[in-house]
Amino acid sequence: MKQWKIYIMLVFVMFAWGANLPILKYLVTIVPPVTLTAFRVLTAGLVVLVILWQMKLLRLPTKKEWKYIVLGALTNVVLHHYFLNMGLSITSGTHAGLILGTGPMLTAISAAIILKYFPSRYQWLGLVLGLAGVSVSILVGGESNGANIGDFFVFLAIFAQVLSYMVVSKAAKTLDPRLLTAYMMLVGAVVLIVISFVQEPGGVTAFTQTTPFFWWLFLASAIISTAIGHLMYNYAVGKAGPTKSAIFMNLNPVFSLILSAIFLGEILNFRHFIGLTFIIAGVLLGSGAAEDLWKKYKQKRATL
């Protein structure tokens, strides 16, 4: 697949994930967080399995690939979703969005240490600009409740997800990242269901006291944000690498802010748009898109 198609795919995923944050913030007020996570991820895993079955991509993994699947399930599914939903039940969406915005920087550092992949100076500049833009966009006019245990849970969630990208990057050499996503979700969902029965006994009964509106949001979160979102993102990681893909995570909180303004009536001011400018610049530099365009421009001038 061409690089620009990967970039469009990543922007769509960030939109879906940006919308997912306020949705989850609402859902965890109705159903206990671990129980909600377990059945949301199970639903997502089954949807991915059906999609891959239709695409005729299903196959049994090898013994070596199962190691990556289990490791990916523990980091990308169990730890990430467990701590994210636990954190959202305690902290504010604003704080969560800011902390999730540190993903690209953590990914770049982890890739440099684990995968021996070192971003160029332009990509490092993009990472810094993106993080600065996220900070400006989230902190301006946001809640200032101070750090709490919920913030720490959200940080653990993004750290676990970043580690999982290293696993996905290695596993993608032999196993289709989309198939890896399906197996990780199903294995992770089983683990989360066991945890929910222990931590939140009787939590499943909360589903019987919900409304049709809850189920619409639940299915949107499970199918679009979790199933299709992770399917597309892990595919992009396998094709473009963890560092380039993670740069686009800076768009996540931007979409959260815009959707909050539209649906929740929150007010955006000019400093939010300054942050947006930094983030777009960070994505263009950090993804390597700006560098690629500049090289093509120089080559074209040289041929002329």
pLDDT mean over 52-64: 89
Distances (CA, A) of 62 to 3, 15, 67, 174, 181: 29, 34, 9, 10, 15
pLDDT > 90? residue 29: no
Mean pLDDT: which of 16-20, 124-128, 262-266 is highest?
Answer: 16-20
Residue 145 is predicted with a pLDDT of: 45
Task: Quote the pTM value.
Answer: 0.71
Sequence-distant (6+) residues with CB within 8 A of 96 are 21, 25, 84, 87, 88, 150, 151, 154
Give the DSSP H or E segment for 296: helix 289-303
The answer to which of 56-65, 139-148, 164-173, 196-205 has the lowest mean pLDDT is: 139-148
Q: What angle do CA 202, 188, 25 make, to 5 degrees?
A: 60
- What amino acid is encoded at 259 in this protein? L
* Cβ pair 150, 90 in contact under 8 A: yes
- Among 5, 10, 19, 8, CA closest to 225: 19
pLDDT mean over 158-176: 81
Confidence of residue 116 (pLDDT cuts 50, 70, 90): low
pLDDT > 70? residue 236: yes
Q: Residue 258, Cβ neighbours under 10 Å: how many?
A: 18
pLDDT mean over 32-55: 92
Spatial separation of the C-alpha atoms in residues 236 and 7, rounded to whole Å: 8
